[in-house]
Structure 1
Amino acid sequence: MQNIIIGTAGHIDHGKTTLIKAITGKETDRLKEEKERGISIDLGFTYFDLPSGRRAGIVDVPGHEKFIKNMLAGVGGIDIVVLVVAADEGFMPQTQEHLNILSLLEVKKGIIALTKSDMVDEEWLEMVIEETKEQVKGTFLENTPIIPISSTKKIGIDELIEHIDQITVQVEERDKKVPFRLPIDRVFSITGFGTVVTGTLIEGTLQEGESIMLYPSQKETKVRNLQVHDKNVEKAEAGQRVAVNLSNFKKEQINRGDVLAKVDSLNTSMMIDVKLRLLSDSPFPIKNRERVRIYHGTSEILGRVVLLEQDELMPGQEGYAQLRLENQITAKTLDHFILRFYSPMVTIGGGIVLDTQPPKRKRFKEEVIGELKLKEQGESGEILKQFLKTYSKDFLTKEEIIKRIGLPSEELERIISSLASKDEIIQIAVGNMNYIFHPDFIHELGSKMRKYLQEFHNIQPLKSGVFKEEIRSRFFGEQKSKVIDELLGFLEEKEVIKIKEGIIALKEFNIRLTDSQKSIAEEIKEKFKKDGLTPPKPEEIWKDKGKTIEQYKQVFEALVEWEILVKVTEEIYIHKDIYDQIIVQLKKHFENYENIDVATFRDLAGTSRKYAIALLENFDQKKITKRLGDIRVMRK
């Protein structure tokens, strides 16, 4: 059965709380000060059963202008509003501000209760009804019923309930398949139970015992107990008022405005890209870098408005902006928010979130405006492609994209599958994770890598390529090695590069010696073969070579890379044939003896003690021999 949340709105002392008591029999004012003063200061909560059998949660909001902050914390999760207008006073300033807020939040369903109707005559009542119709003209309440009520005499209460019941069937059901999200509007502790938070479950499903996360602190906890309408439940669903008993949290660690959600399902940030709409009756324009109060979910955050298209947004105008915040926000794409002036505190507008983790935007950039327009109006596939065009450099997994882009996982899966089949996006699988990239990013990466490798091959034509670690460091920074390996493998499949034994080169590159280089190679090989186990130092090879010194160096390095010359130490290189011969001799020695010392090996190799020690240490490193004090034994 669909869950419904009903909220009240309207001017102070117009009878919202009294009306709820008439409907439910319950008192929503809980604070001592509220009862003493006879006005609501904070949010009140209760529930009642509709004639159809649906159980509706009720959020009662304060009407005083000083408590708009509290009112805003309550209306974000409502499905239907009961706008309360007192018949003896009519439409008042706070009624209008509440209606503006509801319109900005895009609440779609509501009804108007004309309270205290027994206190005025028929003529006055008709006049107030006409005035109310005029005031709500052009809003979502334009054609809604206006029902005269007397809460004390129970006049019109049954009719109001009947109309609410009829409207509930028109309410769009909330998404229960996405990860749950619960903005916290109340925190308290109960002796023997610990910390309890309440809020409206705006999407998803929450289970008892589930591991969950508190945002923006991103601390994990568990659901010890769940209650919906004062009853213990194992599961709560979107559209229900929920009380959650949390493990390992003190009351002081949680604030109204924090959000409970599935672990790692949300992002927090200090900047968001938005589409702003200024109220037509806003008393002020918004200037660039204006300091404002942002109300999102149950939170209030201070920040500045950076206008991206103009220097000033006038009443009634819309525009794209970046909100740069003084505290972290936990939002999703297409969430609604309200803006109030910093001082004086009046509601001036609101809007929707377009990007929850944007880069710092530059103003008056056509490409930025185009990107935000697409996010506001575009088809899901185009939104994803545009998002990847901007953020592929961040190496995002599918799960991270879900958090950032605000699309349900099932829809994103469908879009990814469709776009991948047309090569409009690229998926790189790493274990059970999928990294998603825009083809332009991969193409640009491949182009940059080709340019770098070409320059390397031009300078070092006798080297087979660049070490993979150097490519990782130059092109991928701190990214995880596994996804880099898969991405390099993808580029190899596309014949951009080739990879062999940890060396990366252009696909078409092959080492080719010129005739003069071939001659130098033969000269060097002959020299090292002739000198055997008393080889020359490298610098002796190119000493006095004049203009060809660089060629000698390059050919020498190539012979080492090709393993024609074996590097024993930084200064000692031996021809591979000589190196292999001495290993054969050493193995024959171990056929008759269990060990060998330096002096014996020196005589066996027919070399000096210096070269004998260097060779034995090299054999130790290559695990041919093992040193035990002053002797070596053959490794098995």
Structure 2
Amino acid sequence: DLVLLVVDAGEGPKPQTWEHLAVVEQLRIPAGIPVITKADLVDADWLALLAEDLAGQLERSPVKFEPPRIVSAVTRQGVPELLQRLEQLSREDARATTADAFRMPVDRAFSVAGVGTVITGTPWSGTLKVGDEVQLLPGSISARVRSLEAYGEPVESVSSGTRAAVGLVGVDRGAVGRGATLVTGPVRWQPTGALDVEVELLPGAPPLSRRQRVRVHLGTAEVLARAYPMTEAEPERPATARLVLESAVVARGGDRFVLRSYSPVTTVGGGRVLDPLPPRRSARSWSRELSSESPAERTSALLARRAQGLPAADLSLLLGLPDWEAREVAANLKDVTSAGDILVSRKVTSELRAEAVARVERFHRDAPTEEGISQETLRRALKAPAPIVEAILDGLVRRGELSLVRGHAAIPGFKPASAGTPEEVARVVDLVAGSGLTPPSVSEIEEKLGIRGALALLRIGVKEGRVVGVESDRFFSTESLALFAGTVRELAVNEPVTPAQVRDRLGLSRKYVVPLLEWADREGITRRVGDGRVLV
């Protein structure tokens, strides 16, 4: 909320002063007061010159700094006025606690006799009460709040912006330390190993290169990461990048972080978290709306990178908003729909609808004698969460774009073609039977006989009990399979039979032996044990 930038009157600003200012600016602290201390050690002219120079330097800062305050702890010069100003700003900034989930980055952990493990930090959001159930992440340690203190005084609750000490029940001191995060629901907090971010480099910092190792400071955590810029990252030009972390952190959309070089360790920039749980492959979905200040635009951008949809429970974490507010944003978006608790872009559902119809039409062309594609096959082919697929198919049926017949999806009005005459079926079945244990594939049958639709004719042969599909494109006659089963039983009567033994006995290649042995396993004739088969 407010930073005091302290400068020694006798020494003036030092290199660490400007580095601290850079950190404050990257964290987007909104306001500040420059404080020149030890005023009793220098003369008035020097103080005036220092104050003027410092104010000029700070004019360019995004932090809104007030005019410098000059103080002395020895003479008390300026101290009452500074305290009065701080009290005034504190009253003006008295925040209303929003109904958000509690989150507190942990900066210290220690043990206290009679209390147990105590952690300290400054809550970033929500309210915590004595008796609340909490989690420590990463690590998924569950605990209960035994006691609370704020500024050294026992309290029943603490809220965002308060300095807090939390006594925990059921947590070993060695299991928690600086960098952990204390959280409560309803947000579904999740540790993450990658962050999609917007990066700003400081003037004079070298450009960010691919796979460059950096230090990421977020909350109280410091983790090493590899940077993968998506756009050119240069000083004073915001760029997007993926940070692949070497240790997991707890992050939320909109979180600010500081970026430091790996070696030598110096601040090179910072930025903002755009997506704390980025999809593995999102190179095509780095839209400008992902960096927008509008929650609605960011929601649309986050959904656009998730073809599988987005659980509504994750939206609060992604947007950095209270759960109720995040759901309200999604509910007001015209380009977003939901299936159960899954949010999905209407563009995605439109593409899925078109794909479902196209797959049914293609199935009719490839298998004109079948009444339709199996519903289960169609569901798997669409590769989307089950609630979304069910909603898509239900909608297509309601609108009359698909019909469901005995568990199969078809285009309304489609009638299966006749599979063929008995003579045509006989030609195909006889070819398979005459080939013994080395029958041709479906495409080879069509080529040999100069026909199309051999698969449909073979399926009639299956229904008549004359052939069996051992592979998706290769059928064997029942007589040939009986011969094979008898041979396997003979070979395996006393010891496991191997593929090599079957190959040598029948004179077959592995192309036929392996599928036939797998068929015997499915039929309950044999069972695989190591490299061999035994009789069941």
Short-chain TM bin? 0.7 to 0.9
Does 2:188 correspond to 1:265? yes
Q: Which amino acid aligns with 1:386?
A: A
C-alpha change, 1:559 and 1:172, in structure 2 (3 Å) is farther
Q: How many Å separate the matches in 1 of 2:47 and 2:455?
A: 102
Q: What's the CA shift string for 1:561-583, capped at 9, x where partnerless?
A: xxxxxxxxx98xxxxxxxxxxxx
TM-score between the two structures when normalised by the length of structure 2: 0.75
C-alpha change, 1:399 and 1:92, in structure 2 (3 Å) is same
2:12 corresponds, among 90, 93, 106, to: 90
Q: How many Å separate the matches in 2 of 1:324 and 1:387?
A: 19
C-alpha change, 1:120 and 1:208, in structure 2 (3 Å) is same
Q: Is the 8 A contact 1:322 1:361 kept in 2?
A: no
Structure 1 residue 360: Cα displacement: 4.8
C-alpha change, 1:557 and 1:463, in structure 2 (3 Å) is farther
User: What number of residue pairs does the alignment pair up?
Assistant: 451
1:346 corresponds, among 240, 263, 266, to: 266
Q: Which amino acid aligns with 2:330?
A: I
1:454 corresponds, among 350, 358, 361, to: 361
2:403 corresponds, among 485, 488, 498, to: 498
Q: Is the 8 A contact 1:497 1:506 kept in 2?
A: yes
Q: Which runs of 5+ in 1 are unaligned?
A: 1-78, 525-537, 561-569, 572-636
5 Å-filtered alignment, 1:72-111, equals 79-111=1-33
Q: How many Å separate the matches in 2 of 1:189 and 1:162?
A: 36
C-alpha change, 1:449 and 1:335, in structure 2 (3 Å) is same
Q: Is the 8 A contact 2:369 2:456 kept in 1?
A: no
Q: How many Å separate the matches in 1 of 2:320 and 2:415?
A: 51
5 Å-filtered alignment, 1:570-581, equals none
5 Å-filtered alignment, 1:457-476, equals 457-476=364-383
5 Å-filtered alignment, 1:3-82, equals 79-82=1-4
5 Å-filtered alignment, 1:40-439, equals 79-140=1-62, 143-171=65-93, 173=95, 176-263=98-185, 265-280=188-203, 282=204, 284-310=206-232, 313=234, 315-360=235-280, 367-369=284-286, 371=287, 373-377=288-292, 379-393=294-308, 395-419=309-333, 422=334, 424-429=335-340, 434-439=341-346
5 Å-filtered alignment, 1:615-634, equals none
Q: Is the 8 A contact 1:497 1:505 kept in 2?
A: yes
Q: Which runs of 5+ in 2 are unaligned?
A: 435-444, 466-476, 479-536
Structure 1 residue 464: Cα displacement: 2.6
Q: How many Å separate the matches in 2 of 1:136 and 1:109?
A: 11
Which residue does the alignment assign to 1:527? none
C-alpha change, 1:189 and 1:456, in structure 2 (3 Å) is same
Q: How many Å separate the matches in 2 of 1:416 and 1:301?
A: 33
Q: What's the CA shift string for 1:348-386, capped at 9, x where partnerless?
A: 111111111223568xx7x544x1x21212532222222
Q: What is the DSSP-based 3-state SS (H/G/I as helix, E as strand, rest coil) of the residue aligned with 2:268?
A: strand
Bigger-Rg structure (1/2): 1
Structure 1 residue 294: Cα displacement: 0.9
Structure 1 residue 482: Cα displacement: 5.6
C-alpha change, 1:551 and 1:159, in structure 2 (3 Å) is closer
Q: How many Å separate the matches in 2 of 1:288 and 1:549?
A: 54
Which residue does the alignment assign to 1:442? 349
Q: Which amino acid aligns with 2:362?
A: E
Q: Which amino acid aligns with 1:353?
A: V
Structure 1 residue 285: Cα displacement: 4.0
TM-score between the two structures when normalised by the length of structure 1: 0.64
C-alpha change, 1:233 and 1:559, in structure 2 (3 Å) is farther
Q: What is the DSSP-based 3-state SS (H/G/I as helix, E as strand, rest coil) of the residue aligned with 1:392?
A: coil
Q: How many Å separate the matches in 1 of 2:319 and 2:464?
A: 53
Q: Is the 8 A contact 2:197 2:273 kept in 1?
A: yes
C-alpha change, 1:494 and 1:213, in structure 2 (3 Å) is farther
Q: What's the CA shift string for 1:446-504, capped at 9, x where partnerless?
A: 22222322232223333333333333333337x4x566444432343344433344x13
Q: How many Å separate the matches in 2 of 1:488 and 1:167?
A: 58
Q: How many Å separate the matches in 2 of 1:495 and 1:558?
A: 32
Q: Which amino acid aligns with 1:188?
A: F
Q: How many Å separate the matches in 2 of 1:467 and 1:171?
A: 62
Q: Which amino acid aligns with 2:196?
A: D
Percent identity between matched residues is 28
Q: How many Å separate the matches in 1 of 2:317 and 2:155?
A: 28
Q: How many Å separate the matches in 1 of 2:154 and 2:338?
A: 44
Structure 1 residue 520: Cα displacement: 5.5
Q: Is the 8 A contact 1:332 1:353 kept in 2?
A: yes
Q: How many Å separate the matches in 1 of 2:67 and 2:285?
A: 44
Q: Is the 8 A contact 1:174 1:202 kept in 2?
A: no
Structure 1 residue 155: Cα displacement: 2.6
Q: Is the 8 A contact 2:315 2:327 kept in 1?
A: no
Instruction: Report the aligned-residue RMSD.
Output: 3.4
Structure 1 residue 555: Cα displacement: 5.2
Q: Which amino acid aligns with 2:329?
A: I
Q: Is the 8 A contact 1:174 1:238 kept in 2?
A: no
Q: How many Å separate the matches in 2 of 1:428 and 1:93?
A: 55
Structure 1 residue 197: Cα displacement: 0.7
Q: How many Å separate the matches in 2 of 1:549 and 1:297?
A: 66
Q: How many Å separate the matches in 1 of 2:455 and 2:208?
A: 67
